[in-house]
Amino acid sequence: SYIPLARSTSFQQRPGEFDEVASLLFASETESASPQNHVVGLIGMGGIGKTQLAIEIAYEYKERFPAGVFWMAATGTSLSEWQHQFAELAANTEYLPAGDDVSHPENEARRARHLARYLAHYPDALLLLDNVEHIAHLLDALTTLAGAEVHCTILYTSRTDVAPALVRHYRVSKLPDDMALRLLLKRRPALLEQILANGHNQEAKAAHDICHYVECLPLALTLLRDLLQDTNLTLVYLDQQLRQR
């Protein structure tokens, strides 16, 4: 397996989220499935937490994929770009073809094809593709590299839900208010406890206002949480500065 990103101790799981994604990932265990039935997209706007959710899912269900879990940034838009990324993944996993020679002009293509063939033949492997723009084109490229239909399970993140009809989607939603507060105030536990106990002072109101102002997006809340840790800012002041800037 190759998962270069660690789980986050501040991850806020939306109610029933793991169960819903798992029902999509493992639907093929009870259904007659074509290769595309193994493809699940985590869809949502930037900063909503798609990547972190994919990381958590990878670790949570790692044991369900004995052939390995493989993480790859998939920001390309062409076969050559994806070939380069699959070749890098082959190097990161140390799964290299016989006679691997970095000086050979075709070595990158050989590495990419070698890994793609592995994914084609092992349905109990999981390929995680982060920041995908065109999943249909990427799936075609993967099939081209493998020289066969790819049977591994694929979980990808994307801002767009444009995909072949058989690709399953899970739309990542904004955090509920209480989870947004927990993320923002993780390093100010006393204040968090006070607010969750229906505190109504100025700091409590500012905390709620900040969460709503950034639309409860996990990325924004994480950045603000770190800012609050490193300074003596009050939430009232931070709320005022956000609106002024």
Non-local (6+) Cβ contacts of 108 within 8 A are 83, 84, 87
Predicted confidence (pLDDT) per residue in 46-79, tens digit? 999 999 999 999 999 999 999 999 999 999 899 9
With CA atoms as reference, report the closest residue to 142 among 72, 190, 199.
72
Please give the residue that has the higher pLDDT: either 105 or 33: 105
- Strand arrangement, sheet containing 39-43: 69-73, 126-132, 153-158, 39-43, 168-171
pLDDT of residue 19: 93
- Lowest-pLDDT range, 28-32, 56-60, 135-139? 28-32
Residue 36: pLDDT over 50: no
Q: Diameter of the chain by CA atoms? A: 68
pLDDT of residue 35: 45
Please give the residue that has the higher pLDDT: either 199 or 114: 114
Residue 144: pLDDT over 60: yes
Only one residue has tokens 């493809």, namely 39
Predicted confidence (pLDDT) per residue in 215-239, tens digit? 999 999 999 998 888 677 899 999 9
The percent of residues in the chain predicted with pLDDT above 70, rounded, is 96
The pTM of the full predicted model, rounded to 2 decimals, is 0.88
Across 201-217, average pLDDT: 93
Predicted confidence (pLDDT) per residue in 162-187, tens digit? 999 889 999 999 899 999 999 999 88
Please give the residue that has the higher pLDDT: either 149 or 34: 149
pLDDT of residue 197: 85
Q: How many CB atoms lie within 10 A of CB 227?
A: 12
- Looking at every residue in the chain, the average pLDDT score rounds to 91
Q: What angle do CA 90, 95, 99 make, to 5 degrees?
A: 100
Residue 196: pLDDT over 90: no
Please give the residue that has the higher pLDDT: either 125 or 191: 125
Predicted confidence (pLDDT) per residue in 93-117, tens digit? 999 999 999 999 999 999 999 999 9
